Amino acid sequence: MAKIHELDTPVVLIDIDRVEVNLKRAQDYADANGVKLRPHIKTHKLPQFAKRQMELGAIGITCQKIGEAEVMVDAGLRDILLPYNFLGEPKLKRLLALAKRAALKVTADSITTIDGYSRTFSESGITLPVLVECDTGGARAGVQTPEEALALARYINASDGLRFAGLMTYPAKGATAQANAWLARATVLLREAGLAPEIVSTGGTPDLWHSGENGAATEYRPGTYIYLDRFQVHEGVGGFEDCALSVLATVVSRPTNTRAILDAGSKTLTSDTLGLQGFGRIVEYPDAVIASLSEEHGTVDLTRSTAKPRVGDMVRIIPNHACPVSNLFDEVTLVRGDDVVGTVPVAARGKVA
């Protein structure tokens, strides 16, 4: 069996034992707290992990793009929430084709989006479940008030080929209580109008361990919990020892006593800081700072690190944000400790549309 130090770098390592622990821990929490999990596959983009999430008790999966859902349906997944406004004839055609093969649910926050769904599904024989996207403070997409949510719910139910299926939000960081209050208000309004939402979907790994307190929500969509990353550790979701995804890189240059250059730049680690200082944590040199990235070089400041790596040394990096790293690699290497277990193509990578 190959060892990780025999690999060509940079390479993404997935510790499969940690994956299993992370998935089980979350599902156990969900089961104990009456939370239904619908994991977001954007973090791993791997059908085998989506299937494992289902085996452990997830009620379905979440994909952000139709291209991702196509890969998952091809692999046998059959219950998929797509929390996105889909527009344009090419995409709506793909949505209809996929809806013939799996139970899809989509979202909308405008009449234009709903009209597109209705035009596409009205004569298909399929009734598409549509959730209303709600901006509960995240300042991204979504209706601005519960009253607008009610108006769109009515509009959906009045549209051929569609059925109002509930509410969806991505809560602002640290504003879960605010999001829950918003959703609770909207739920009351809808119930009074005879449109009780079947699904109220919220999510985000940072608040996973508080999802049992989400009164109004019926489903939760965590993504990063499978791997964790430096940002989630910063948010207190777990420790570095829980991180299942790391990047194995090589020190390719030591130009000065306080500078090391890694063969992992923005093409490997991405430029996402998520507000953190530095671009990842070097496991073997926790006091070193990945200070800047160009596409193929990571520049490490060793000023505060008494231990200094040598040219040719390999290091493991916990990236700031695991999800976009998965999206940069055609394949990931599964490991158990220092043993290489196998290589898996990242089947849903690069599905931008």
Record the tokens describing residue 161, joined without a space. Answer: 């080929």
Q: Which position among 36, 51, 259, 308 is part of the footprint of a second copy (CB under 8 A)?
A: 259
Q: Looking at residues 212 to 251 of the shown chain, list those that interact with a second copy (rule: CB under 8 A).
A: 250
| Spatial contact of 151 and 117, defined as CB atoms under 8 Å apart | no
CA quadruple 298, 304, 305, 308: dihedral sign: positive
Q: Which position among 1, 34, 123, 139 is part of the footprint of a second copy (CB under 8 A)?
A: 139
198 touches a second copy by CB under 8 A: no
Least separation in angstroms between CB 128 and a second copy: 17
141 touches a second copy by CB under 8 A: yes
Helix (H/G/I), strand (E/B), else coil: 169: coil
How far apart (Å, rounded) are the C-alpha atoms in residues 217 and 202? 6
Q: Which position among 252, 276, 283, 344 is part of the footprint of a second copy (CB under 8 A)?
A: 252
Least separation in angstroms between CB 253 and a second copy: 4
Q: Looking at residues 30 to 89 of the shown chain, list those that interact with a second copy (rule: CB under 8 A).
A: 42, 64-65, 84-89
Identify which of residues 77 and 346 has a Cβ nearer to a second copy in the complex: 346
| Spatial contact of 121 and 96, defined as CB atoms under 8 Å apart | yes
Q: Binding-site residue total for a second copy (CB under 8 A)?
A: 65
116 touches a second copy by CB under 8 A: yes
294 touches a second copy by CB under 8 A: yes
| Spatial contact of 272 and 320, defined as CB atoms under 8 Å apart | yes
Identify which of residues 218 and 333 has a Cβ nearer to a second copy in the complex: 333
Identify which of residues 36 and 267 has a Cβ nearer to a second copy in the complex: 267
Identify which of residues 86 and 285 has a Cβ nearer to a second copy in the complex: 86
Neighbours of 120 (CB within 10 A): 21
286 touches a second copy by CB under 8 A: no
296 touches a second copy by CB under 8 A: yes
List CB contacts of 236: < 8 A, sequence separation 6 or more: none
Neighbours of 299 (CB within 10 A): 18
299 touches a second copy by CB under 8 A: yes
CB pairs under 8 A, 24+ apart, for 215-219?
215/180, 215/184, 216/180, 216/183, 216/184, 216/186, 216/187, 217/180, 217/183, 218/36, 218/166, 219/36, 219/37, 219/38, 219/59, 219/81
172 touches a second copy by CB under 8 A: no
Least separation in angstroms between CB 101 and a second copy: 19
145 touches a second copy by CB under 8 A: no
270 touches a second copy by CB under 8 A: yes
Q: Which residue blocks in the chain are alpha helix, DSSP H?
A: 16-33, 47-56, 66-74, 89-99, 111-121, 146-157, 176-192, 230-234, 266-269, 322-328
Which positions lie near a second copy, rule CB under 8 A? 6-11, 42, 64-65, 84-91, 94, 109-110, 112-113, 116, 133, 135, 139-144, 250, 252-256, 259, 261, 263, 266-268, 270-273, 294-297, 299, 310-312, 314, 323-324, 327-330, 350, 352-353
